[in-house]
């Protein structure tokens, strides 16, 4: 149901400015009632938050687990690119700030969890500073990428982001690229597979 609501909102955004879209509009396009909408989302902004978490959970959160740095970024960027109409839409200062908070927290929390739970590494003050600084900087660059129309190909952007990780942190979470995420022929099927299995994410 979350994907049904997301896709209805997406269709509306293709023709209507974000501030002019109401919950009633989304419900009408999705053919659902307002109580059904509020069962899954608290507001329009909450749809953005969920989509952003979805992208991080499938990509960046897997860095050092099942993906290399570049692979993890690429998966997250591919999902963002698939739903680029959301990120290209003008955002209020409040929505922008909340999206940055979601992004920073998702990335920094995931990296810390991977280091502690999967690599057995305790987080020092220095390492914590590196992680949080990286998350904040990269969220700003990803936002810039979106505002500029995502003109840089996702694979190239993923390479840029991966190269910006501090050497120490990069090595701690290093994995060899083992997935075929760089094959552009598979990008759409990859995103469809990941997003298609995300309806239960909260």
For the record, the structure tokens of 139 come out as 């969220």
Does 178 score more than 90 pLDDT?
A: no
pLDDT band at 99; cut points 50, 70, 90: confident
Phi, psi (rounded to 5 degrees) for 63: -65, 130
Q: Closest Cα partner for 53 from 8, 9, 3, 103?
A: 103
User: What residue numbers bound the domain in which 31 lies?
Assistant: 1-41
Q: Each residue of 103-156: pLDDT tens digit? A: 999 999 999 999 999 999 999 999 999 999 999 999 999 989 998 999 999 999
Calculate the average pLDDT of the chain: 86
174 versus 113: the higher-pLDDT residue is 113
Instruction: Tell me: do 148 and 50 sit in the same domain.
Output: yes
For the record, the structure tokens of 114 come out as 């991977």
Instruction: Tell me: do 12 and 60 sit in the same domain.
Output: no
Q: Which residues contact 172 (CB under 8 A, 6 or more apart)?
A: 64, 115, 119, 121
Instruction: Tell me: do 60 and 79 sit in the same domain.
Output: yes
Instruction: Tell me: do 36 and 62 sit in the same domain.
Output: no
For the record, the structure tokens of 77 come out as 């960027």
Does 18 score more than 80 pLDDT?
A: yes
Is residue 176 assigned to a domain? yes
């Amino acid at each position: 149901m979350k994907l049904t609501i997301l896709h209805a909102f997406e269709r509306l955004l293709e023709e209507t400015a974000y501030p002019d879209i109401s919950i009633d509009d989304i419900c009408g396009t999705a053919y659902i009632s307002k109580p059904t909408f509020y069962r899954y989302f608290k507001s329009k902004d909450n749809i953005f938050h969920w989509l952003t978490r979805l992208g991080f959970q499938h990509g960046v959160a897997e860095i050092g687990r099942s993906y290399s740095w570049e692979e993890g970024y690429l998966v997250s960027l591919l999902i963002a690119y698939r739903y680029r109409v959301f990120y290209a839409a003008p955002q209020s200062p409040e929505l922008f700030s909340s999206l940055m908070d979601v992004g920073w927290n998702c990335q920094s929390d995931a990296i810390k969890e991977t280091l502690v739970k999967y690599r057995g590494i305790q987080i020092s003050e220095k390492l914590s500073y590196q992680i949080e600084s990286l998350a904040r900087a990269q969220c700003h660059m990803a936002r810039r990428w979106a505002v500029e129309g995502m003109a840089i190909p996702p694979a190239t952007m993923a390479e840029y982001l991966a190269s910006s990780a501090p050497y120490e942190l990069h090595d701690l979470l290093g994995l060899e690229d083992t997935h075929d995420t760089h094959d552009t022929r598979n990008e759409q099927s990859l995103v469809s597979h990941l997003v298609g299995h995300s309806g239960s994410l909260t």
